[in-house]
Structure 1
Amino acid sequence: MNIVNARLRRREGWFTLVLDDGIIKAITPQSAMLAPHEGDLDAQGGLVIPPLVEPHIHLDATLTAGEPAWNMSGTLFEGIERWGQRKATITHEDTKRRAHATIGMLRDHGIQHVRTHVDVTDPTLAALKAMLEVKDEARHLIDLQIVAFPQEGIESFPQGRALMEQAVEMGADVVGGIPHFENTREQGVSSVKFLMELAERTGCLVDVHCDETDDAQSRFLEVLAEETRVRGMGARVTASHTVAMGSYDNAYCSKLFRLLKRAGLSFVSCPTESIHLQGRFDTWPKRRGVTRVAELDRAGLNVCFGQDSIKDPWYPLGNGNILRVLDAGLHICHMMGYDDLKRSLDFVTDNSARAMNLGDNYGLCEGRPANLVVLDAPDDYEVVRRQAKARYSVRHGKVILRREPETLHYV
C-alpha cells in the first residue's frame, strides 16, 4: 500500500510512503501532487505522523465517575476516597469492559501507544489480572504498557512491597510509585529506593506519580532523580505530574534542574487534570498546579503531555482526544508562541514515545513498523489550531480507522 500526497513534519513538499509487509519500505519526495492509483491512500496534503501516544492514563478507573458518588470537592484526596469506594465493587468483566471502551476512544483519535497505570493496592490484584487480558485482546489496536501503580502507597499499605513484587512477576511492564502519599517523608524516600531497586533488578521501566501536590515541601523528585542518576537508568525512568515544582522557589529549582539534567529522566504532565485538582486549598491567587513544562523543555529535558483520566473520580470529563490536552497544555503552560506551536506535536508524539522507551518501534523511518496516522491538517500549527481529526489510522500496514470528511449543510 502507498500513501501519496503526504505532508511530513519539518520537511517541505509532498511525499509518498511505501508500506509493505507491515514495514515502512520507502519515503520518497514528490515533485507535485499525484493522482492516486487503486489501493493508494490519498493524504490530500494532510500531515502524516507516527501514531499519537498516550503516556499516562488509568484504564482501570475510566468511566466510573459518580459511582457510587461524585467527587464534589474536586480534590485529589477525595478522588482517592471515592475510588476506594468504587474499587470495592469492581469485577473482572467490569474492568475489561470499561478498558476496552476507553481504548476504542483512544483509537478513534489516532492513538496506538498507551501506558496505563493499574492500581495494585488490592490483595487480589483483580484489576491487573483484567488489564493483562486487555493488553493481549487489544494488541491489534494499541501497544499497551502496564504500570504496577500502588495507589494507596507501598510502605503505607499492608503487604505493599509484596504486591509490587507480585505484580511484576505477573507481567507488569513498569514499576510505579506514589511517594508523596506515603504516611511520612521517610516512608516516601524508602518507597522510591524500593521501587528503583525492583525495576533495576527485573529490567522494568519506571513511572512514578511524584509530588502531585501543591505542597512546596514535597520534594521526592530529587530523591527519584538521584536514584536514577546513580543507577544510570535515565532512559527508563519517568516522573509523572511533579506539580509541586510549580510551587518551588526559583533558587531551589536552579539546583534541582542541574540534578534533573544529570539524571536524564523523562517527565509527563497531565495539564487538564492538574489544573482541575490542584490549587484547591488556595483562596486567591490560585495556583495553576502544573509543573514547569516550558522550563523543563527549554532545559533540554524530555517532557510530554498525558490525559490521565477519562470520566473517573479524579476528573469528570475527557473523551480520548490527546490533542484537546495538548491545546490546554499549551495555554496553561504559556507556550503559545509560534516557535512552540510549530513543534507542538512533539509533546504528544516523539517526546511521549521517548518517555515510554519505544525506541525503533516508533517513528516515520524506513524499516520501522508501518504504524501511522493521516491528519486533516498540513502542519503542527494547523493541527492544534483546528483540533484536526485522524482521517486514517494505519497499524502494521493495515487501515484500522477511516474517517469520512464532515459535510455541513447551510440553510
Structure 2
Amino acid sequence: MHIINARLRHRPELFSIQITNGIFSKITPQNDRLVAAENHVDAGGKLVCAPFVEPHIHLDAALTAGEPEWNQSGTLFEGIERWSQRKPMLNEADIRRRALSTIELLVQNGVQAIRTHADTTDPTLVGVRTLCALRDELKDKIDLQVVAFPQDGMLSYPNGLKLMEEALEIGADVVGGIPHFEYTRELGEKSVKLIIELAKKYDRLIDVHCDEIDDPNSRFLEFLACEALFHDMGSKVTASHTTAMHSYDNAYCSKLFRLLKHSGINFISCPTESIHLQGRFDSYPKRRGVTRVKELREANINVCLGQDSIFDPWYSLGNGKLLRTLDYAMHICQMMGYQDYARALDMITDNSARTLCLQGYGIEVGNAANFILLDGHDDYSVLRQQGEVRLSVRHGEIIMQRQPSKVISPPWITGATTR
C-alpha cells in the first residue's frame, strides 16, 4: 500500500507513506500534490492518524439497558443494582453477541485497541471466560485487553478474592479493583495492597475504578499512587474515573499532584458517563463530577478518555464515537483554548496507547502499519467538524472504509439560478 497527499499531526506539509509487508517502510514529505496511480491511496490532504484507542469500556454489560429494569435515578449505585439483576441472565452466547456488536461499532469509528472490564463478582466468571476467548480469536484483527473487575468489591463480595485469582488464572490481562465500594476504608486500602500483590505475582497491569464518587473524603487515589510509587510500578498502573477529585479542595490537590507526578500512574476519565452519574445528590449549585482532566494534562500527567458504557445500566446512550467523548471532555473540563485544541487527539490516541502499554504504536518507520484517515487536516479541524473516520487500516490491510456521502447544496449557496 502507498498513501499519498497525507497530512500528519503537527506537520504542515503533505506526506507520502509507503507500507511493505504490513509495516511502515517509508514516510517522506511531498513538495506538491501527487496524482494517484492505480496502487495508491489518495488521502486528499486529510489527516492520517494513529488509530483510536478505547481504554475503558464494559463489553460484558454493553447493550443491556432496561434489562430487566431501567436505572430510573441515574445514579451509579442503582446502575450496580440493575446490573446485579441482569447478571443471572448472562451466558456465553449472550455476551459474545453483544460484545461483537459493540466491537464492530467501535471499529467502524476508528478504534483498533480496546480495554474492557469483565465482572468477577459472578461465580460463573462467564464474562471473563467469554471476553478472554474473544480476545484470542480476534488478536489479528484488534488489540483487546481484559480487566478482571470486582464490580461488587473484591473483599466485600463472598469469595471475591478467590474469584479474582481464578480470573487471572483464566487469562485476564489486568487486575482491577473498586476500593471506594468496599464496605469500609480499611477493606478498601487492603484491596489496593492485594491488587498490587496480584499484579506482581501474575505479571499483569493494573486498572482500578478509583474514587468514583462525589465524596471529598474518598481518597483511595493517594493510597494507590503511593503503593505504585513504592513498588516502582507507576507506568503499569491506571486510576480510572477519580471523580472525587472534582470535590477535593485545591490545597489538598496541590499536595496530591506532587505524589501523582512522582508515581507516574495513568488516568482515564469517562466524561459523558461521569457528568451523568455524579452530582446526583446535589441540588444547586450542581457539581460536574468529572476528574481534573485539564489540570492533570497541564501537570504532564498522562490522562486519556474512554466511553465506559454503551447502552447499559449506567449509561443508556453511546454510539462508539470517541470523537464525541473528546468533544464533551473539551467542553466539560473547559479546555477551550487553541493550544488545547491543537493536541486534543492525544487523549484518544497516544495517551491511551501509553495507558494500555501498547508496543509499536504510532505512525513511524518500523511500526505496524495501523492508522486511520480522518475528515480534517489537523486536531482542531477534526474536533470542530467531528470528522468521520474514512478509512481504518491494520497491518496494511483495510478493515473499514466509509465513502463520503454526496451533498447537494441549495442554489442560494452555490450561486446557481432557478427558473
TM-score (normalizing by structure 1): 0.99
Give the alignment of 1:160-171 within 5 angstroms.
160-171=160-171
Aligned to 2:64: 64
- 1:191 partner amino acid: S
- Higher mean alpha-carbon deviation, 224-233 vs 157-166, is at 157-166
| CA deviation map 1:143-166 (0-9, x unaligned) | 000000000000101111111111
Aligned to 1:187: 187
SS class of match (1:11):
coil
Give the alignment of 1:391-406 within 5 angstroms.
391-406=390-405
Aligned to 1:279: 279
Tell me, yes or no, if structure 1 residue 41 matches structure 2 residue 41. yes
Gapped regions of structure 2 (runs ≥ 5)? 411-419
Give the alignment of 1:116-127 within 5 angstroms.
116-127=116-127
Aligned to 2:93: 93
Which of 1 and 2 has greater Rg? 2
Q: Which whole-Å CA distance do the structure 1 matches of 2:122 and 2:193 have between them?
A: 22
TM superposition shift of 1:404: 0.5
TM superposition shift of 1:347: 0.5
- Does the 8 Å CA contact 1:100/1:138 hold for their aligned counterparts? no
Q: Which whole-Å CA distance do the structure 2 matches of 1:377 and 1:153 have between them?
A: 44
* Structure 1 runs (4+) greater than 6 angstroms displaced: none
- 1:225 partner amino acid: A
- 1:354 partner amino acid: R
Q: Which whole-Å CA distance do the structure 2 matches of 1:377 and 1:357 have between them?
A: 28
Aligned to 1:409: 408
Aligned to 2:221: 221
Q: Which whole-Å CA distance do the structure 1 matches of 2:391 and 2:362 have between them?
A: 16
- Does the 8 Å CA contact 1:107/1:141 hold for their aligned counterparts? no
SS class of match (2:94):
helix
Aligned to 1:176: 176
Aligned to 2:129: 129
- 1:268 partner amino acid: I
SS class of match (1:207):
strand
| CA deviation map 1:327-376 (0-9, x unaligned) | 000000000110000110000000000011113x2111100001000111
TM superposition shift of 1:410: 4.9
Give the alignment of 1:12-411 within 5 angstroms.
12-359=12-359, 361-410=360-409
Q: Which whole-Å CA distance do the structure 1 matches of 2:36 and 2:391 have between them?
A: 15
- 1:139 partner amino acid: K
Q: Which whole-Å CA distance do the structure 1 matches of 2:173 and 2:335 have between them?
A: 33
Q: Which whole-Å CA distance do the structure 2 matches of 1:291 and 1:394 have between them?
A: 33
| CA deviation map 1:237-273 (0-9, x unaligned) | 0000000000001111111111101100000000000
SS class of match (1:212):
coil
Q: Which whole-Å CA distance do the structure 2 matches of 1:177 and 1:221 have between them?
A: 12
SS class of match (2:222):
helix
SS class of match (1:406):
coil
Q: Which whole-Å CA distance do the structure 1 matches of 2:225 and 2:57 have between them?
A: 22
TM-score (normalizing by structure 2): 0.97
TM superposition shift of 1:55: 0.4
- 2:118 partner amino acid: V
| CA deviation map 1:307-343 (0-9, x unaligned) | 0000000000001000000000000000011000011
Q: Which whole-Å CA distance do the structure 2 matches of 1:42 and 1:163 have between them?
A: 51
TM superposition shift of 1:141: 3.1
Q: Which whole-Å CA distance do the structure 2 matches of 1:87 and 1:17 have between them?
A: 48
Q: Which whole-Å CA distance do the structure 2 matches of 1:332 and 1:7 have between them?
A: 29
Q: Which whole-Å CA distance do the structure 2 matches of 1:311 and 1:407 have between them?
A: 31
TM superposition shift of 1:408: 2.2
- Higher mean alpha-carbon deviation, 245-254 vs 140-149, is at 140-149
Q: Which whole-Å CA distance do the structure 1 matches of 2:78 and 2:186 have between them?
A: 24
Q: Which whole-Å CA distance do the structure 1 matches of 2:409 and 2:246 have between them?
A: 47
- 1:275 partner amino acid: I
TM superposition shift of 1:74: 0.2
- 1:401 partner amino acid: M
Q: Which whole-Å CA distance do the structure 2 matches of 1:175 and 1:216 have between them?
A: 25
TM superposition shift of 1:122: 1.0
SS class of match (1:88):
helix
TM superposition shift of 1:409: 3.4
Q: Which whole-Å CA distance do the structure 2 matches of 1:253 and 1:200 have between them?
A: 29
- Does the 8 Å CA contact 1:108/1:401 hold for their aligned counterparts? yes
Q: How many residues align?
A: 410
SS class of match (2:226):
helix
